[in-house]
Amino acid sequence: MTVDWGGIGPELLLRLDRSLPEPLRTQLLAALRDAIRSGRLRAGERLPSSRELARQLEVSRGLVQETYEQLLAEGYLTSRTGSGTRVAAVHSDVEQARVEPEAPAAPRFEYDFAVGVPDLGSFPRADWAWAVREALRTLPNADLGYLDTRGHPELRRVLAGYLRRVRAAAADPARTVICAGFAQGIELTRRVLQGMGVRRIAFEDPGYSDHTVVSAMSGAGMEPVPVPVDDDGIDVAALAASGAQAVVVTPAHQWPTGVVLSPRRRRELVAWARDHDAYIVEDDYDAEFRYDKEPVGVVQGLAPQRVIMIGTTSKALAPGLRLAWLVCPPALTDALVTEKLLADRGSPVIDQVALAAMISSGRYDRQLRRMRGIYAARREALVDELRTQAPAVGISGLAAGFHAVAHLPAGVSEADAVAGAAARSVGVSPMSAYRADRSPEPPQLVLGLGTMTERAVRIGVRRIADLLAGARSSGVSRTGR
């Protein structure tokens, strides 16, 4: 599909050399022919109006009109009232690549329990549009320039207050750095820790073993060390024995098992960091979505000198916003700010101020309350359907977030369940993908609820209930309708 430039005068780079003996009309004819033959101007593209091109080239309008008429006669151009002058679909000396319109990617599965993806259809478009308008209305002109690398002061102020109120964080605007998503936050952290001499960094197991972050750290010369997770969270004794100088944890809702770091383990983790002169990187990725229990505060609030906390709007709003934040220990703040400066000079200002408006107006809290209700209903649909259709399958990790862990009964393998589900157009993820050694034992599946309606959850479970329970398949695909 050819780009249809807006306005009456799309820019067109052509050069006329007044020092040459050739008339300007001859030069313009040759330049346009060459642009069309070479494919620089593609078939169907609109040229500037004769008046606009004359203005751009500082020549008379009559000269441009004569040139266009000559090229129309030669078949290089076409002209139609209301459509302007366009390049004809001939005379190209190069094969013009056919550019098809990008169609949305077809879903891989009819029912996909995809993990880590929120309900994108529930993004608060009206509230965000209001917030952007508010940002543009109130933003001083000076704030559209190069600002403090840490981020816009209004967002840092509002965000610090929000994190103190909702997450019990020891947040300070001066030690808050706005960044482009969790991926950039963890990369900035990696650079700072590596610059301090950290060579071994621990990760929860199961956890981020499939994540590009682990690969990036390995490629940068750091050694990722898996540390086991049990029902109380990360095994701090095993962490101490690992020789790691830093650890990445998900205390509020462990990814992907869903367990909560127990109070005792929290104290042990903080003591480990202090005793070993180590740092904790806390990924506070979906702690806002809690259902059965009281909210759990961040570990950062217990040890702000030792914890780098990373938060993000990816789960609360949408990953595409690319808005996240680092709450930094005092000793590492300057280094993290420097790394952010080297990375990109700062995150988009208008989006930052819009997020500040969302939070301070209460619209952010309202969106979280709304999504808690939606995800809670999907969770209940999953529990109810599994209880009815496959009672032998256990379920855990439901206290928070929008994914759960299904525990398969003895004799049912992850691989068979995943393959069988895929054959019925249902997507599920094996827990082995998140284990450092890729072990399929014990057999478990991670079921995301972000992209599934309540009805889809129920139909998806019905389609694969016999596979999960270990029943013999007849070979006929169940629709579950």
Residue 478: predicted pLDDT: 42
Residue 286: predicted pLDDT: 76
Q: What is the CATH number of domain 124-361?
A: 3.40.640.10
Q: What is the CATH number of domain 366-469?
A: 3.90.1150.10
What's the pTM?
0.82
Q: What is the pLDDT of residues 66-86, one digit of tens each?
A: 999 999 999 999 988 777 888
Domain ranges (residues) in the chain: 1-103, 124-361, 366-469
Q: Which CATH number fits domain 1-103: 1.10.3720.10, 1.50.10.10, 1.10.10.10, 3.20.20.220?
A: 1.10.10.10
Residue 15: predicted pLDDT: 85
Residue 390: predicted pLDDT: 94
Ranges of the chain whose pLDDT falls below 50: 1-3, 8, 95-99, 472-481
Q: What is the pLDDT of residues 76-115, one digit of tens each?
A: 999 887 778 889 886 555 544 444 555 555 568 999 999 9
Closest CA to 338 of 149, 60, 477: 149
Residue 400: predicted pLDDT: 78
Q: Are 29 and 70 in contact (CB under 8 A)?
A: yes
